[in-house]
A and B are shown apart, each in its own frame.
Chain A
Amino acid sequence: MSKKTMTLNLTDDEMAALEDLAKRKDLSKTGVLRQALRLYQLVDTRTRSGEKLIFEDEKQDKKSEIVVL
């Protein structure tokens, strides 16, 4: 697949979060952003089709719905 290059401007906090995720997920920063885009598209598609995104904490018997912009 051909690829295109773009410049990304991030704040210090955003860059720190990206670097932390890259370290914990054993990925490059590009890899993290690529995964984030795929996940965002998947969530957007499913919520637009009427499904809900819900986080569940089984230990505390709590559920919370995430509203995706």
Chain B
Amino acid sequence: MTSERINIVRRSDGTTVDAELLSNLDANDLLLVERQWEASRHAVHQKLLASGVAKKEWPQSLHWNWSLKSGQLKQLAIRGFGITTEGIWQAVCLTDCVSYTCKALGNLGKPLVYLDYIEVAPWNWTISKIGQTARFGACGPILFDRIVQLSREEGFKGRVGLHALPQAEQFYREKCGMTPLGKDASKQGLMYFEKP
């Protein structure tokens, strides 16, 4: 695993906080992520239930479990990245370098980095219906930039692809400069995005 120093933003007062951007995670890292996030994920779930928030408005990654994804890191094609501050995981993602190729006409069939899963810690979700604001910000954009950098390191010239959960589509379109290329029936109808 390699690390570099970065800054993330504490939402409550807008100050920057020292953090680490970690590359090439192993299975134990993802097991720790789940141990650190599990209770908070459960607490959010309970608050959503108690507040009667409609299920369609729940965070769409609420049911994810990173420990179940940890075995994937045995594959050379799969890489993991994450952000920690003071030993606590704030965001994590998994990428796949071989299972997908570009669908955009100008780059059809060329390799890309596929962003398979990306999630911030449950305490970094903003859920207005239960009065929760994110503790730290900037984690998602920092991880996404790291994935674009990975694509360049691999010789893929910054090409990145992903299927977006509906709640994240705006983020990928407006903050990441990705292009929607249509809904994919083979992926539960999720919108497929590419960054050229």
A52 interface hit (Cβ, 8 Å): no
Please tell me the number of chain A residues within 8 Å of chain B, measured between CB atoms.
15
Which residues of B sit under 8 angstroms from A31, Cβ to Cβ? 111, 154-155
The distance in angstroms between the C-alpha atoms of A45 and B77, with both chains bound, is 12
How many pairs of residues, A versus B, come closer than 8 Å at their CB atoms? Answer: 40
B105 interface hit (Cβ, 8 Å): no
- Shortest distance from the beta carbon of B34 to any chain A beta carbon, whole Å: 23
- What is the size category of the interface that chain B forms with chain A? 10 to 19
Determine if B111 and A25 form an interchain contact, defined as CB atoms under 8 angstroms apart.
yes
- Shortest distance from the beta carbon of A40 to any chain B beta carbon, whole Å: 9
Q: Is the interface of A mostly helix, strand, loop or mixed?
A: helix
The distance in angstroms between the C-alpha atoms of A42 and B77, with both chains bound, is 7
Determine if B75 and A45 form an interchain contact, defined as CB atoms under 8 angstroms apart.
yes
Contact of B109 among A25, A28, A39, A45 (CB under 8 A): A25
**Could you list which residues of chain B lie within 8 angstroms of chain A, going by C-beta atoms?**
2, 24, 74-77, 97-99, 107, 109-111, 154-157
- A-B CB contact pairs (8 Å), 14 listed: A24-B109, A25-B111, A26-B107, A27-B111, A27-B155, A27-B156, A31-B111, A37-B76, A38-B76, A38-B77, A38-B98, A39-B77, A42-B76, A42-B77
